[in-house]
Amino acid sequence: MSNKFTDAMSHLFDVSATIDLLQYDFVQQALIAGAILGLLAGVIGPLIVSRQMSFAVHGTSELSLTGASAALLVGISVGAGAIVGSVVAAILFGLLGAKARDRDSVIGVIMAFGLGLSVLFIWSYEGRTGTSFSLLIGQIVAPGNSGLALLLLCAVVVIGVLALIYRPLLFASTDPDVAEARGVPVRALSIVFAVLVGITAALGVQIVGALLVMALLITPAAAAAFVTASPVKATILSIVFAELAAVGGILLSLAPGVPVSSFVTTISFVIYLICRLGGSRRRKNTGRVAAHTH
């Protein structure tokens, strides 16, 4: 067993060290950023799951890495670069992958090209290698004052736009053919939603990194879907699960000094397993009741 791993785990429940670290401004900012991101991910996650866009989220988060690494190379805001990269990716996915049979291949092709550019940009960067690594796995000190302001602004915009388009978007997500026949602008909504997902994924990269952003955008919503079929209840549960993962992951990572993404993904996965197990038992019991009734 690695000494580094053993030493980190021995400090996992060091409450006094955690309390001491909570006095620092950057830790408090990280917790606020995690709470905002948890709210955002919890709100948008159920729609992503219902629209079967998990692979698109993965592709968008990977391409936000391309924007972030390009920004790192030219010396501008990494957060802004990540957002630009993810929005461009989302628009390309929406325009080129409108047909379901083309969607996965389009995402795969664009993602592979974008990742190739990311490798080139990160390789060319002459600064600290730790900064480049944090784009992949996230880090607790990433938000900062400017990053927190950008996160808050983007969260307000994303939730505001979602509130405006929620009903037609939910209709288009549930039954796109009927929605289109009734005059709902399904394709335009798809592109707008893809851009919102792109912005959220770019924000998530700052906390959990490009490789693990699905732990906040997909896993909590997928867990909630096992518990309830109600869109409203699923959204509320998704927010609670995402907050537990984001804020809980940051708190647990403080004392041992382990990358926050490790705890965020672990908490998300445990919640998913519990909900999946509970949901399976609930469906079996419902089936037995229905069988006895008939």
pLDDT of residue 220: 93
Helix (H, G, I), strand (E, B) or coil at 128: coil
Residue 48 sits at φ, ψ, to 5 deg, of: -60, -45
| Full set of structural domains in the chain with CATH | 3-283 (1.10.3470.10)
Containing H/E element for 92? helix 78-96
Containing H/E element for 9? helix 3-10
pLDDT of residue 98: 61
Going from the first residue of the chain to its last (294 residues), give the mean pLDDT of each consecutive group of 10, the final group possibly shorter: 72 82 85 88 89 80 80 79 82 71 79 85 74 57 68 88 90 81 84 85 70 81 91 93 92 83 88 89 64 58
Residue 228 sits at φ, ψ, to 5 deg, of: -145, 150
C-alpha distances in angstroms, 169 versus 44, 47, 58, 94, 148?
11, 8, 21, 15, 29
Q: Is the dihedral of CA 163, 165, 168, 171 positive or negative?
A: negative
